[in-house]
């Protein structure tokens, strides 16, 4: 089966926003839907190779694994191409849209898309949309899990003729990268984990708690800076929108068309949760809260419409397929009182639990949730204020790894890819994955992004 070849032809990869194109060679590889049956139905994986700039490329490429679950590897790379430029000079970049995402038999559905921002949204709407999603899928979601995805990755590796590979995984992609390393250690030269999810941790119960930690750190910073009353203003807006949603019409930030929408507590929480992911977007949050507190919801609504694109681009069917197999069944005893004290509350966990009562659990390797024991070199990158995979997750993941470097970026959020220091470290690590020789001097020079003093930007 792995003797199959992939026919590649010139193509352009486009970021989800459509602003950037990357020249590549693209093709498809037919693989079994159910890998236990080679004579059954097949799906096609979309594969892209961005050839190294050097005339003679190094033999071991970098496989870039996107997050989500549900993000497209090709779209992610097109948006973040510059961050990999140093590695790309000497190595091919290989991109595989994970089965269920991008152009690989996507599990797409019309769930909470941008159009529904014009409605009042609550827990019932979220659950109903997810259940509706299940009925819209073209394929059985039980075969769209991490355990099967890593077998796809190695199938692609073999079909492209690479003996060994380097891996970069971000967010959920770190789960995929670690499980590939577990299954195929002899094929793995080095691994970079960015925004690390430890295999033994189920995403769900901690999300609201960790996001609150990141928000509290922002409140503390603002108290000493330009927004001393931000925490009180935030709580007031949260309560106000919970009691009385606001109808508003603004020009859509992407299309310019007048758009009617409802700003409610769900909208506010969703925007805050996404903005605190990155120090750049978190820096604008204080100005948005201050405007909303003063009764002007236009800046907040504009950002809500803008960030909705990130939800639209996510293959939500794949997201649920993975979460309902690998996370929801392992949440354990949830401290609902602690969750209720956060700005996100209990909605996320309640929704996940109720959705996964209806979604089928898929195929999962018995050891998926075990820590990886390896001596393969691993670089673990964490943002100090990551609101979903905090640095302690990386420390947990590295517990049984014998050859690691852990880096924590001061004031940084989820994923270190946009940080120049991290980009240099990644390139040096892939070039020579010798843990003791990696110079970490630039890490101490990483600084938080300056706060916006108005919706227009930071102070000069």
8 C-beta neighbours (distance < 10 Å), count: 16
Give me the pLDDT at residue 451, please.
79
Per-residue model confidence as pLDDT tens digits over 390-438? 999 999 999 999 999 999 999 999 999 999 999 999 999 999 999 889 9
pLDDT surpassing 80 at residue 17: no
Give me the pLDDT at residue 116, please.
47
Helix ranges (DSSP H) in 66-166: 73-80, 85-88, 123-136, 146-160
Residue with tokens 């209990």: 346
Share of the chain above pLDDT 90, in %: 73
Mean per-residue pLDDT, 65-88: 96
Per-residue model confidence as pLDDT tens digits over 257-295? 888 888 899 889 989 999 999 988 899 999 999 999 999
pLDDT surpassing 90 at residue 305: no
Per-residue model confidence as pLDDT tens digits over 105-152? 999 886 555 444 445 557 788 788 888 888 889 999 999 999 999 999
Mean per-residue pLDDT, 207-235: 92
Share of the chain above pLDDT 70, in %: 92
Per-residue model confidence as pLDDT tens digits over 322-370? 999 999 999 999 999 999 999 999 998 999 999 999 999 999 999 999 9
Mean per-residue pLDDT, 93-114: 86
pLDDT surpassing 70 at residue 162: yes
Give me the pLDDT at residue 210, please.
97
Q: Which domains does the chain have, with CATH numbers?
A: 9-113+140-202+367-445 (3.40.50.1820)
pLDDT surpassing 70 at residue 309: no
Give me the pLDDT at residue 40, please.
86
**Which of the four pLDDT bands, split at 50, 70 and 90, describes residue 251?**
confident
Give me the pLDDT at residue 343, please.
96
Mean per-residue pLDDT, 453-457: 56
**Which of the four pLDDT bands, split at 50, 70 and 90, describes residue 76?**
very high
Mean per-residue pLDDT, 94-111: 92
Query: Which comes out higher in pLDDT, residue 457 or 313?
Result: 313
Give me the pLDDT at residue 226, please.
80
Give me the pLDDT at residue 255, please.
81
Query: Which comes out higher in pLDDT, residue 155 or 452?
Result: 155
pLDDT surpassing 80 at residue 439: yes
């Amino acid at each position: 089966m792995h003797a199959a070849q992939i026919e590649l032809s010139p193509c352009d990869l486009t970021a989800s926003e459509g602003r950037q194109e990357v020249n590549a060679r693209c093709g498809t590889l037919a693989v079994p839907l159910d890998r236990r049956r080679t004579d059954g139905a097949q799906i096609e994986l979309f594969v892209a190779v961005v050839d190294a700039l050097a005339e003679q490329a190094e033999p071991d490429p970098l496989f870039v694994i996107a997050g989500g679950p549900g993000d497209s590897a090709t779209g992610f790379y097109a948006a973040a191409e510059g961050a990999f430029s140093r590695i790309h000079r000497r190595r091919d970049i290989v991109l595989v849209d994970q089965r269920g995402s991008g152009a690989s038999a996507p599990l797409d559905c019309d769930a909470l898309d941008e159009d529904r921002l014009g409605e009042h949204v609550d827990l019932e709407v979220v659950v109903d949309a997810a259940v509706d999603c299940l009925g819209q899928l073209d394929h059985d979601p039980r075969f769209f899990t991490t355990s099967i995805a890593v077998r796809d990755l190695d199938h692609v590796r073999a079909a492209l003729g690479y003996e060994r590979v380097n891996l970069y995984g971000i967010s959920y992609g770190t789960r995929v990268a670690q499980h590939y390393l577990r299954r195929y250690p002899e094929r793995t030269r080095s691994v970079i984990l960015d925004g690390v999810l430890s295999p033994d941790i189920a995403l769900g119960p901690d999300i609201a708690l960790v996001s609150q930690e990141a928000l509290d750190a922002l409140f503390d910073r603002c108290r000493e800076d330009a927004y001393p009353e931000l925490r009180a203003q935030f709580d007031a807006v949260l309560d106000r929108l919970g009691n009385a949603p606001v109808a508003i019409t603004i020009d859509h930030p992407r299309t310019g068309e007048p758009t009617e929408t409802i700003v409610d507590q769900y909208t506010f929480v969703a925007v805050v949760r996404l903005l605190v992911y990155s120090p750049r977007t978190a820096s604008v949050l204080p100005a948005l809260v201050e405007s909303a507190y003063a009764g002007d919801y236009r800046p907040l609504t504009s950002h809500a419409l803008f960030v909705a694109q990130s939800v639209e681009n996510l293959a939500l069917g794949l997201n649920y397929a993975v979460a309902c197999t690998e996370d929801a069944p392992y949440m354990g005893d949830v401290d609902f009182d602690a969750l209720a004290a956060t700005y996100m509350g209990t909605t996320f966990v309640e929704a996940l639990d109720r959705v996964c009562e209806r979604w089928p659990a898929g195929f999962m390797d018995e050891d998926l949730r075990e820590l990886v024991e390896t001596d393969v070199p691993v670089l673990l990158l964490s943002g100090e204020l990551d609101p979903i995979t905090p640095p302690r997750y990386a420390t947990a993941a590295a517990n049984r790894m014998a050859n690691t470097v852990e880096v924590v970026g001061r004031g940084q959020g989820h994923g270190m890819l946009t940080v120049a220091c991290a980009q240099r470290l990644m390139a040096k690590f892939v070039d020579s994955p010798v843990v003791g020789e990696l110079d970490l001097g630039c890490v101490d020079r990483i600084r938080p992004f300056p706060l916006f003093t108005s919706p227009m930007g930071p102070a000069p």
